[in-house]
Amino acid sequence: MEGPTWVSYAAMWLATVALLLLSRRLRRRKFKLPPGPKPWPIIGNLNLIGSLPHRSIHDLSQKYGPIIYLRFGSAPVVVGSSVEMAKIFLKTQDVTFASRPKIAAGKYTTYNYSNITWSSYGPYWRQARKMCLMELFSARRLDSYEYIRREEMTALLKGLYASAEDPILLKDHLSTVSLNVISRMVLGKKYTDESENAVVSPDEFKKMLDELFLLSGVLNIGDSIPWIDFLDLQGYIKRMKALSKKFDRFLEHVLDEHNERRKGVKDYVAKDMVDVLLQLAEDPNLEVKLERHGVKAFTQDLIAGGTESSAVTVEWAISELLKKPEIFIKATEELDRVIGRERWVEEKDIVNLPYVDAIVKETMRLHPVAPMLVPRFSREDCQVAGYDIPKDTRVLVNVWTIGRDPSLWDHPNEFDPDRFIGKPIDVKGQDFELLPFGSGRRMCPGYSLGLKVIQSSLANLLHGFTWKLPGSMKKEDLDMDEIFGLSTPKKVPLVVVAEPRLPPHVYGL
């Protein structure tokens, strides 16, 4: 009896496996998927993705069209690379694609998807978005912090003047001013000041932020081939866990200090964004309770998002101007005409500086901070442009490709701010040819703050200084390669010399 029983069990098992495979094959057949390269077993199309995924996918879109279907291991991925596709994914069918994939970066670096960026679409995320729009980034609150941005800008300009004629690493100065602005707005003080009781040094904190953005954008093999995730072949999970411990130590200290300050004070008035978050966490009417780890996740999100985007964008802008000094001359002519040579640029002046604003837009077109935005995730089966998009498909919008579309832009690879003069295109998510902050429900909630810091930083750098390359270096020697992560900074940080261009007494500040 043993022989036939074993054979019958084996036959039943094989038949079950065969039926499962057949049903999957039949289900797959009924989908009319977008065009794309044929995937390899196990790895899918990962063999076609290089160290700069946005460029690899750009090349594929040139071959297969504005909507393509890929497989990253076992994970289905759809990429839109045109204005029409961006509008469908981010506006027309925004709700369908409003969630986020559950990848390692969100799990290990944001308290298990507890922040604004990586949380899934649902009550928790809707509540988080409402907090951002109504409380953290309201026009009233941002205006109330303008004095902080002005003070830190003054400190930046003083530091540059003190370093005049010497080669400097520009991003260090830009990151410092961004981090100080965000620290004071979000945390209430510069927790990264050099002092004996500092939890973390400024250099270490900047490295933590760089690591966070790198790890949030990497293609982790385990996200695509789950059954080998435990091996951590690239070492990314180990790095994410180590980074998470560093951030948690810092954020615990921040929350402890804030709670101590609030203790026993009746009708305490919030002084910074962490105070606001802690007050919201105590609100009994919240639809979803905001736990301590949620407050830490939001705080980390605010610090990281507000620091990286502005420093990266301004560094790219100065790099492009060094290659085209005639643009620098046009910008300074506008600044001298509108601002004069006896004062610095204020935020309210930007509306009267269309050429400086055009430089910012042109920089964001050619060098979007997040070239494929943050990945989205289809919540249900749907159709796009006549193709089927199955539920649980990752969706990317390649704004890097859109920014180089010759049907939208004349000479798309040229840096030419004049293309925006007299054009009503802005970066607020309604003009789909320029989407540095995304669009729709998952658009960056702090874009208005980021834009203020970028515009005023660049305007004052151009107003106060003439920028030159060090030594005998020529503009042709300038390295314009990038590193891919959740943001896309320069591969080789920019080293420059700043020469004051205003009367000496202006720098007394």
How many other CB atoms are found less than 10 A from the CB of residue 69? Answer: 22
**Nearest-angstrom CA–CA distance, 226 and 235:** 15
Backbone phi, psi, residue 347, to 5°: -60, -35
* Identity of the amino acid at 147: Y
Taking CA 388 as the corner, what is the angle to CA 369 and CA 61, rounded to the nearest 5 degrees?
Answer: 40
Q: For residue 195, give the 3-state DSSP assignment.
A: coil
H-only helix segments in 168-230? 170-182, 202-217, 221-224
The two structure tokens encoding residue 379: 């919540």
* Largest distance between two CA atoms of the chain: 102
Q: For residue 235, give the 3-state DSSP assignment.
A: coil
**Nearest-angstrom CA–CA distance, 70 and 81:** 13
Q: Are 404 and 344 in contact (CB under 8 A)?
A: no
Backbone phi, psi, residue 344, to 5°: -95, 165
Backbone phi, psi, residue 304, to 5°: -65, -50
Please give the annotated binding residues for heme, written as ranges.
444
Provide the terminal-to-terminal Cα distance of the chain, rounded to the nearest Å: 96
How many other CB atoms are found less than 10 A from the CB of residue 41? Answer: 5
* Residue 346 vs residues 226, 250, 350: alpha-carbon distances, Å: 51, 33, 7
**Nearest-angstrom CA–CA distance, 326 and 156:** 25
**Nearest-angstrom CA–CA distance, 127 and 139:** 19
Please give the annotated binding residues, written as ranges.
444
**Taking the mean position of all CA atoms in its chain, how far away is CA 114?**
17
Tell which residue, 298, 250, 260, has the closest CA to residue 277.
298
Tell which residue, 59, 96, 53, 28, has the closest CA to residue 224.
53
DSSP class per residue in 425-481: --SSSS-TT--TT--STTS-TTHHHHHHHHHHHHHHHHHHEEEE-STT--GGG----
**Nearest-angstrom CA–CA distance, 489 and 470:** 21
Tell which residue, 340, 314, 372, has the closest CA to residue 490.
314
Q: Are 129 and 440 in contact (CB under 8 A)?
A: no
